[in-house]
Amino acid sequence: MVLMQVTVPEGLQGGDAMSVLVGEQEFTLTVPDGLEAGALIEVDLPVDEGAPDADPPPEEAMTEKVIVTVPAGLGPGDPFSVETAWGGVFEITVPDGVYEGDAIEVELPTQASQGPAEPSPPPREPSPPPREPSPPPREPSPESPPRKPLGPATCAAELPGRRVQLVKLVAKPVMNHKKGTCLSYDAERDRCVVKIDNMAPAVAVKWENLEELPPDDVEVRSSDPPEAPPAGIYYAGDKVLVERSNGSTSEASIVEYDEVMETYVVDVGGGMLKYGVEESYITPVEHSKVRCGEHFEGRSVRIPHLKHMLALTRRVHEADLNGTVRGYNEKTGRYTVHMKSGAIERNIRFNEMKVVYHLIK
């Protein structure tokens, strides 16, 4: 019922019928005795508040933008948790090019998106004091049997949430025996999405290239990325151009080096490998062909031990640890490296530099 005030129309008086239109609903009233045209009367009408012309309640936003700061010690690809003002906790991954101390904007679900909160139970009334002595304690119930662990996965769809390691990879043999966690299964592509420990981004892997690990296997966190193994004068994963028989070139990446035949195996894409490629048919893409000691000039390297030296005086960033080879002193056998931070590091030994292996370049 809705309480409304209406005015008696011209020409009507007590006992006459009058109509009142509310939205699309029409009501007929009788003018009370003693009232004339222009009089104000108050009536209680059974208006349907759910009528189609009623304005719908505004929809609550399902997401909200939040500014968060990357915690210390984390870099691109590392996950961390964010707690919202309403108590929700979500895990996000540090984007590429973002490091500890940087502020990033992320879009998180709102409390409204989680559905209505469960009503809290009514307060319990205090129990009356016992009238009789308490009964003797019951015999302890036998312990419930331990939960039976999940059996080994029998298909790719059962792998999400389990620990796995990569096996039988041909195009990227350096990744064999790397461990990770299966995040999901893409049924359309028939691939498992796997987050390799301490590497980013997640990769799609075939069922036959995964081996399930024991349930008690856990990730060993490390701030240092994996090292690329050497392959001849190059390193596994190096991007190169390979000359074809007709003189044209195609993009490829170094897989390994055959020391007996003194030729390379390269990945030309789509999991296709090309064997027996001679060094003279290969041109590097990411650095020059000018030799600089055991490296090429412009080779990207990482100097891990700088982290411990610099941490004594200030916070260390990724740009302090990564740089490119700029020179080599043949007398001392030391290298000069131009760091991404702008600093110049001299007197660097060959074994103090690491070439990082990237899943995707």
Numbers of helices and strands, H then E, in the chain: 1, 26
**Cβ-Cβ contacts under 8 Å for 24 (sequence gap 6 or more):** 51, 52, 53
Nearest alpha-carbon partner for 228 in 262, 259, 253: 253
pTM: 0.52
Measure the CA angle with vertex 110, ends 109 and 111; round to 5°.
Answer: 125
Residues in CB range of 325: below 8 A, 6 or more apart: 287, 292, 293, 295, 296, 297, 298, 299, 301, 335, 336, 337, 353
Tokens 């041909």, located at residue: 170
Helix or strand run (H / E) with residue 285: none
Q: What is the pLDDT of residue 58?
A: 60
Query: What residue ranges of the chain are covered by domains with CATH 2.30.30.140?
Result: 230-352
What fold characterizes domain 158-212?
Answer: SH3 type barrels. (2.30.30)
Three-class SS state of 62: coil
* Fold held by 230-352: SH3 type barrels. (2.30.30)
DSSP H helices in 212-317: 306-310
Domain with CATH 2.30.30.30 in the chain: 158-212
The owner of tokens 């209505």 is 116
Q: Which 3 state secondary structure label does DSSP give 292?
A: strand
Residue 190 and residue 206 in contact, taking contact as beta carbons nearer than 8 Å: yes
Length of the chain: 361
Give the single-character DSSP code of 350.
G
- Whether the bond into 201 is cis, omega within 30 of 0: yes
> What is the Cα gyration radius of the chain?
36
Q: Residue 137, exposed/middle/buried by CB under 10 A (0-12, 13-18, 19+)?
A: exposed
Give me the tens of pLDDT residue by residue for the chain, a chain 361 residues long.
666 777 878 777 777 777 777 767 777 878 788 778 777 777 777 766 654 454 555 666 777 787 878 787 777 888 878 787 777 777 888 887 777 877 788 787 777 767 665 555 666 666 666 666 666 666 555 554 444 456 899 999 999 999 999 999 888 888 899 999 999 999 999 999 999 888 878 889 999 999 999 999 998 887 778 899 999 999 999 999 999 989 899 999 999 999 999 999 999 988 789 999 999 999 999 999 999 999 999 999 999 999 988 988 999 999 999 999 999 999 999 999 999 999 999 999 999 999 998 876 5
The pLDDT of residue 79: 83
